[in-house]
Amino acid sequence: MNKKIYIAGHRGMVGSSIWRALEAKGYANLIGRTSAELDLKNQNAVVDFFQTEKPEVVIDAAARVGGIMANSSFPYQFLMENMQIQNNLIDSAFHSDVQKFIFLGSSCIYPKFAPQPLKEEYLLTAPLEPTNEWYAIAKITGVKACESIRKQYGKDYISLMPTNLYGPYDNFDLNTSHVLPAMIRKFHEAKEKNEAIGVSEPVELWGSGNPMREFLYVEDLADAVVFALENEFHDNLYNVGTGVDLTIRELAQLIQRTVGHTGEILWDVDKPDGTPRKLMDVSKMENAGWKAKVGLEEGIAKTYQWFLEHQGTFKEVKI
């Protein structure tokens, strides 16, 4: 409980949730740095930080993230900045003799047309989804860096690959957000515009609504990270999810009901759908002893409540 644990990205949705989960369990020696205090893209700064602070455990929840629009608009930044961040953290941790490193990635590391559900062994078996391959390639290099250290030096470096995440402190910026928080904001704002007359404005959404997606409440991921911290895993890569998915159209209808929007949903089929399906096989994690607890309907209700309580600040919340 007194080990010095460094959480990279501790102000973001994922990192802050991990911080709260560890504090709740009594971990008393947590450290974090804002991007203004420590630029994780700066190798020398990261090396100096590790030499000064000497963390015993590192949890890497730092990344440049975003949806299809952000990935398509900034491919170089999504590739290079994510590699810089994770490479600096992994290499500095290795040279500082950090024995436990938990690297967080994404289900987008798996091939676009991989068999469903996605098993860990499908990594690097076929081409990626073009709309987010830059981010995916960066994360794959992080997985392989941790795997190589584990294989060559026997250190407890593991990678957890969560499915699509959502929850408190999500990013609701429509230019950079993922599908679920973007929908919450769109339906809410369309409802608010004509609330006086009781008729919600239509909401336009990207694609056909046919792709299927799996969603994990961020506090469940935080719980999985705590589990990984407190247990020894026998492999290097584990999927983290619910093992249950639904269509984007069904997701939209669920969020629409939660928000109370009564208008029409318009689908812009000229916009890309992304990967047809990304359902995670979570049997390895369940066999290790961990399982998700929060259902999607409950999680969306909690997230919408957080959104309502933080409307004055959510635009500034970035991961």
Per-residue pLDDT tens digits for 32-60? 999 999 999 999 999 999 999 999 999 99
Which residues participate in the annotated binding site for NADP(+)? 9-15, 104-107, 139, 162-165, 178
CA angle (269, 270, 272) in 5-degree steps: 85
Query: Measuring CA to CA, how many Å separate 305 from each of 74, 248, 298?
Result: 31, 21, 11
pTM: 0.92
Query: Measuring CA to CA, how many Å separate 140 from each of 40, 44, 98, 111?
Result: 18, 24, 21, 11
Q: What is the CATH number of the domain that holds 285?
A: 3.40.50.720
**Whether residue 117 has a cis bond before it, omega within 30° of 0:** yes
Decide if pLDDT at 18 tops 50: yes
Question: Torsion over CA of 163, 251, 171 and 33, rounded to 10 degrees?
Answer: -30
What pLDDT, on a 0 to 100 scale, did the predictor assign at position 195?
A: 65
Domain that holds residue 168: 5-316
Provide the mean pLDDT of the chain: 93
- In the chain, the number of structural domains is 1
Decide if pLDDT at 319 tops 60: no
Which residues participate in the annotated binding site? 9-15, 104-107, 139, 162-165, 178, 186, 206, 213, 273
Q: What is the rounded distance in angstroms from the CA atom of residue 239 to the CA atom of residue 17?
A: 18
Which residues participate in the annotated binding site for substrate? 186, 206, 213, 273
Contact 162/221 with Cβ under 8 angstroms?
yes
Choosing from 6, 110, 135, 217, the catalytic residue is 135
What is the percentage of the chain residues whose pLDDT exceeds 70? 97
Query: Measuring CA to CA, how many Å separate 318 from each of 20, 108, 257, 281?
Result: 17, 20, 27, 29
Our answer to whether residue 27 is catalytic in this structure is no
**Across the strands, what pairs with 204?**
266
Tell me the per-residue pLDDT of 161-220, one tens digit each, with 9 for 90 and over: 999 999 999 989 887 788 999 999 999 999 988 766 667 799 999 999 999 999 999 999
What pLDDT, on a 0 to 100 scale, did the predictor assign at position 196?
A: 62
